[in-house]
Amino acid sequence: MNEVIAFYPILIEGTITTIQLTVLGAILALIISFIVGLSRISKFRSVRVIAIIYLEFFRGSSALVQMFFIYFVLPMWGIYFDALTAGVVACGLNVGAYGSEVVRGAILAVGKEQHEASQALNYSVFKKYRYVIIPQAIPIMIPTFGNLLIELLKLTAVASLITISDLTFMAQIIRVQTALTLEPFLLILVIYFIIASVLVKVVDLIAKKFSKGRNIMTAGDK
Amino acid sequence: MEWNWDHAFAVLPQLADGLVVTIQATIVASLLAYVLGLGIAILKMSKSKFTRVALYWVTEFVRRTPILVQLYVVFYVLPDFGIFLEAFTCGVIVLGIHFSTYTSEVFRAGIDNVPKGQWEAAKSLNYNPLQTWKNVILPQAIPPMIPPLANYLITMFKETPLLAAITVVELFRAADQYSNSHYTYLEPMTLVGVFFLIVSIPSAMLAMKLEKKFKQAKTA
């Protein structure tokens, strides 16, 4: 174990890279979730069709394949990403597809009378969604978004396969250099578990805050 | 970079072999995930608080850590303890264990949905636990579980490319090998993507149909 601890600088570096990937990927995924999720309920057929193609494409094929495609195939068409950007883009696009379903489901779960009330107040479509529908849909989304965040964190490990020096990559380096197997991998499993558990706690707190005064079940109520 | 049909046709036979391995891995892993998941769900209802709490943390640990790292642990660590397994076996075991923590939630929800009166009825008939589960609880609990379990089957299918990282030559690694020896990623990677879409989109539609069917059956 001491031999592994001696590698702590690269383990810390790997942890930072993993957190970076998770945070940047989550921001991208969140933006895509809302764009695609809202497009799914657009009144324009063409917008809905494009959103469905995106969704089926990224949900239907494997994340690892998407990552390799972005990192190895796109450069052949002159689109270059450095490894970290490719990782963030792949994670964001993949998890964003799943997130769009969460956004769509939550918005559809808001009652019909809310739409009627907005109409009675003569709200424009933008104002209706901005001030009435989406604020009520967000508390419904949070617990599921929390689950997706953990999936995203786990997905970042796959990014080590396109040469990103995240935790998993660093563990491989330690394995090759020390010929130890159990210790480096067990150590990073624990680090991943700690990061995930912190994320779960944070999402629970956010869910509690948003559901205050509303009769909505949060992940903590289970 | 132009699409080259020669490469596309040359890689197809290898991809077909890979697809067979991918499907084998998916089926074996899902069977393991279902059996283990049901076991976990039943154990989680145990009267002993220690069992429940221990099981909760073990399953959370498995759920909150990446499959890829779990694959590395089993693949690299077991030989140090004198256990030599084929890469395919390692991969299937890890996928099965990882997803059993997800399927156990499905089983638990399904079992919870069986009304309490059914348990009491089984007791009043003097059924032993085996008879209660086999004749009363599971036949009622299983049908509504089928759609979510089918969805996990599709999810597992999409996770099988990770097995490539521990040298299993499945669909993705078959393409990667071709790419590395012919210096072209375009055709093999695109075809792998297409293969995945061809299998998973119709399966997802089927799962959705099942879901609708069971919903109707319940309200009828």
**Which of B3, B59, B69, B201 should we substitute to test contact with A (largest number of A Cβ atoms within 10 Å)?**
B69
Say if the Cβ atoms of B63 and A188 lie within 8 Å.
no
Name the minimum distance, in Å, from the CA of B116 to any CA of chain A: 19
Q: pLDDT averaged over chain B?
A: 90
Name the minimum distance, in Å, from the CA of B2 to any CA of chain A: 9
pLDDT at B220: 47
Residue B40 pLDDT exceeds 90: yes
Query: Which residue in B80, B164, B197 is closest to A60 by CB distance?
Result: B197
Residue B177 pLDDT exceeds 60: yes
Asked whether the beta carbons of A101 and A37 are under 8 A apart, the reply is yes
Chain B: residues touching A (Cβ < 8 Å): 1, 60-61, 63-70, 72-73, 76-77, 80, 158-162, 164-165, 172, 176, 179, 185-186, 189-190, 192-193, 196-197, 200-201, 204
Query: Which residue in B66, B179, B193 is closest to A61 by CB distance?
Result: B193
**Closest C-alpha to A142, from A86, A73, A203, A200:** A203
More confident residue, B1 or B32: B32
The answer to pTM > 0.80 is: yes
Neighbours of B126 (CB within 10 A): 7
Query: Which residue in B63, B69, B197 is closest to A157 by CB distance?
Result: B69
Percent of the residues in chain B that have a pLDDT greater than 70, as a whole number: 97
Asked whether the beta carbons of A103 and A34 are under 8 A apart, the reply is yes
Span B71-114, pLDDT tens digits = 999 999 988 888 889 999 999 999 999 999 999 999 999 999 99
Residue B215 pLDDT exceeds 80: no
Mind listing the domains of chain B with CATH numbers?
Answer: 5-219 (1.10.3720.10)
Residue B146 pLDDT exceeds 60: yes
Q: How far is CA A59 from the centre of its chain?
A: 13
Contacts of residue A46, Cβ cutoff 8 Å, sequence gap at least 6: none
Say if the Cβ atoms of B69 and A172 lie within 8 Å.
no
List, for chain A, all residue ranges whose pLDDT scores fall below the cut of 50: 218-222
**Which of B52, B68, B104, B108 should we substitute to test contact with A (largest number of A Cβ atoms within 10 Å)?**
B68
Which chain B residues touch A86 with a CB distance below 8 Å?
none
Say if the Cβ atoms of A64 and B161 lie within 8 Å.
yes
Which chain A residues touch B205 with a CB distance below 8 Å?
none
Model confidence at B192, pLDDT cuts 50, 70, 90, reads: very high
Instruction: Give the chain B residue whose CA is nearest to the CA of A149.
Output: B64
> Where is A141: in which H helix or E strand?
helix A134-156
- The DSSP secondary-structure symbol of A70 reads I
Helix, strand, coil % (nearest 5) of chain A? 85, 0, 15
Query: Which residue in A56, A77, A181 is closest to B201 by CB distance?
Result: A56
Cα B200–Cα B166–Cα B149 angle in degrees, nearest 5: 35
Model confidence at B209, pLDDT cuts 50, 70, 90, reads: confident
pLDDT at B135: 92
pLDDT at A221: 44
Q: What is the pLDDT averaged over residues B30-42?
A: 94
pLDDT at A191: 95
Model confidence at B210, pLDDT cuts 50, 70, 90, reads: confident
Say if the Cβ atoms of B193 and A185 lie within 8 Å.
no
pLDDT at A213: 63
DSSP codes, chain B: ----HHHHHHHHHHHHHHHHHHHHHHHHHHHHHHHHHHHHHHHTT-S-HHHHHHHHHHHHHHHTS-HHHHHHIIIIIGGGGT----HHHHHHHHHHHHHHHHHHHHHHHHHHTS-HHHHHHHHHTT--HHHIIIIIIHHHHHHHHHHHHHHHHHHHHHHGGGGGGGT---HHHHHHHHHHHHT--HHHHHHHHHHHHHHHHHHHHHHHHHHHHHHHHHH-
Say if the Cβ atoms of B66 and A60 lie within 8 Å.
no
pLDDT at A220: 45
For residues A8 and B142, give the distance between their C-alpha atoms in angstroms, rounded to a whole number: 48
Which chain B residues touch A196 with a CB distance below 8 Å?
64-65
Neighbours of A188 (CB within 10 A): 29
Does any CB of chain B come closer than 8 Å to the CB of residue A208? no
User: What type of residue sits at position A69?
Assistant: F
Return the CATH number of the domain spanning residue range A2-221. Answer: 1.10.3720.10
Q: What is the pLDDT averaged over residues B8-21?
A: 90
- The DSSP secondary-structure symbol of A34 reads H
Model confidence at B219, pLDDT cuts 50, 70, 90, reads: low
**Closest C-alpha to B102, from B27, B29, B49:** B29
Interface size, chain A vs chain B, as Cβ–Cβ contacts under 8 Å: 114
A65-75 residues labelled b (16+ CB within 10 A) or e (exposed): bbbbbbbbbbe
Residue B129 pLDDT exceeds 60: yes
Say if the Cβ atoms of A76 and B73 lie within 8 Å.
no
pLDDT at A180: 87
Model confidence at B217, pLDDT cuts 50, 70, 90, reads: low
B151-170 residues labelled b (16+ CB within 10 A) or e (exposed): bbbbbbbbbbbbbbbbebbb
Delimit the domains of chain A by residue range.
Answer: 2-221
